[in-house]
């Protein structure tokens, strides 16, 4: 699990800094051990702990950031409140898989267009966040039934509140790995590279021929999409569209 590796990298960085602290002359404010610990954590995270590259700036900033904010004169309740708020939004992310970030308007529009071109059927959004895609889908297609699966309490509650009064949108606080995708005509996901191989296997084992799987930004490794659209948004998001055929199916 990435969170444990991150903790280990920080501890190893601290251990190196402590063992070198007598040998290295102190920098301004005696900060040399902080610099060594941060550099050590960043290096250990890459080797031997093999964390993805984007952990490096996090490790470099973590200890200096911690020391800086610990000097701020704010009450313990503020830190606790901040921790609880972050936990409610980024629930489950400590496992290192899928954090919350939102689809652009261009992604939402592209999904709406793909759905508009199909005969009515059930739609699922896996990891719906605050409903950036699910809510416009429900608004545009009142005759179609949409299930929005979201595990983090904060985004779930926001999505649920936005869905009030829309009988065709169910917001479900559940792990989407437990969902049978065979029930859906269109499945949309905007997740992270960490889960795409597992998700591709699930999609290919469960979705029926003739249905549609759409992934924003992240490809399914080893399974070429039938269409890849580059969208006109700030990130230049790619939308990968799989039109499921009999040849795509894997044995469950
Ligand atoms: C990158 S965000 C995308 C949010 C939204 N779909 C959008 O396009 O704006 C991914 C979301 O998936 C949720 N998520 C990740 N793994 C999940 C799981 N196993 N079950 C349910 N939700 C999950 C996260 O909490 C996060 O809100």
pLDDT digits (tens, 9 = 90+) for 124-137: 999 999 999 999 99
Residue nearest to atom 18 of ligand 1 (CA): 175
Higher pLDDT, 21 or 116: 116
The tokens 């040849």 sit on which residue? Answer: 247
Q: Among 149, 151, 194, say which to mutate for ligand 1: greatest number of ligand atoms within 8 Å of CB.
A: 151
Average pLDDT over residues 26-49: 85
**The pLDDT of residue 73:** 85
Q: Where are the beta strands (DSSP E) in 132-237?
A: 146-149, 169-172, 186-189, 212-216, 227-230
Q: How confident is the model at residue 28 (pLDDT cuts 50, 70, 90)?
A: low
The top-level CATH class assigned to 105-248 is: alpha beta
Q: Where are the alpha helices (DSSP H) in 117-181?
A: 134-140, 153-163
Query: For ligand 1, is residue 129 a contact (CB within 6 Å)?
Result: yes
Average pLDDT over residues 16-36: 75
pLDDT digits (tens, 9 = 90+) for 149-181: 999 999 999 999 999 999 999 999 999 999 999
- Answer yes or no: are the C-beta atoms of 132 and 154 closer than 8 Å: no
Average pLDDT over residues 190-207: 95
Degrees to nearest 5, angle at CA 195 with 171 and 11: 110
Query: For ligand 1, is residue 218 a contact (CB within 6 Å)?
Result: no
Please report the atom of ligand 1 found closest to the CA of residue 176: 20
Least confident of 76-80, 113-117, 137-141: 76-80
Calculate the CA dihedral of residues 6, 130, 160, 176 and round it to 10 degrees: -50
- Answer yes or no: are the C-beta atoms of 157 and 132 closer than 8 Å: no
Q: How far is the CA of 135 from the centre of ligand 1 (A)?
A: 14
**The pLDDT of residue 91:** 82
* CA-to-CA dists, residue 94 to 19, 98, 114, 201, angstroms: 29, 9, 33, 23
Distance between CA 211 and CA 218 in Å, rounded? 19
pLDDT digits (tens, 9 = 90+) for 223-247: 999 999 999 999 999 999 999 999 9
Query: What three-state secondary structure class fits 121?
Result: coil
Q: How confident is the model at residue 27 (pLDDT cuts 50, 70, 90)?
A: low
Q: Tell me where in the chain the CATH 3.40.50.150 domain(s) lie.
A: 105-248
**The pLDDT of residue 20:** 82
Please report the atom of ligand 1 found closest to the CA of residue 188: 6
């Amino acid at each position: 699990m990435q969170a444990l590796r991150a903790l280990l990298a920080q501890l190893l960085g601290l251990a190196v800094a402590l063992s070198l602290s007598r040998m290295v002359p102190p920098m301004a404010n005696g900060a040399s051990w902080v610099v060594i610990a941060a550099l050590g954590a960043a290096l250990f995270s890459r080797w031997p702990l093999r964390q993805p590259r984007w952990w490096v700036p996090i490790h470099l900033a973590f200890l200096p950031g911690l020391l800086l904010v610990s000097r701020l004169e704010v009450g313990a309740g503020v830190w606790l409140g901040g921790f609880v708020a972050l936990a409610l939004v980024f629930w489950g992310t400590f496992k290192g898989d899928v954090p919350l970030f939102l689809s652009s308007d261009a992604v939402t529009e592209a999904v709406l267009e793909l759905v508009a071109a199909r005969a009515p059927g059930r739609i699922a959004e896996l990891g719906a966040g605050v409903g950036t895609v699910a809510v416009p889908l429900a608004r545009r297609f009142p005759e179609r039934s949409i299930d929005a699966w979201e595990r983090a309490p904060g985004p779930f509650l926001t999505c649920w509140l936005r869905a009030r009064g829309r009988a065709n949108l169910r917001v479900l606080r559940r792990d989407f790995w437990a969902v049978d995708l065979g029930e859906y005509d269109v499945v949309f996901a905007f997740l992270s590279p960490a889960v795409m191989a597992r998700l591709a296997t699930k999609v290919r084992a469960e979705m029926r021929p003739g249905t549609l799987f759409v992934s924003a930004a992240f490809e399914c490794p080893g399974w070429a999409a039938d269409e890849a659209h580059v969208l006109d948004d700030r990130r230049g998001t790619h939308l990968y569209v799989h039109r499921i055929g009999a040849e795509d199916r894997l044995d469950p």
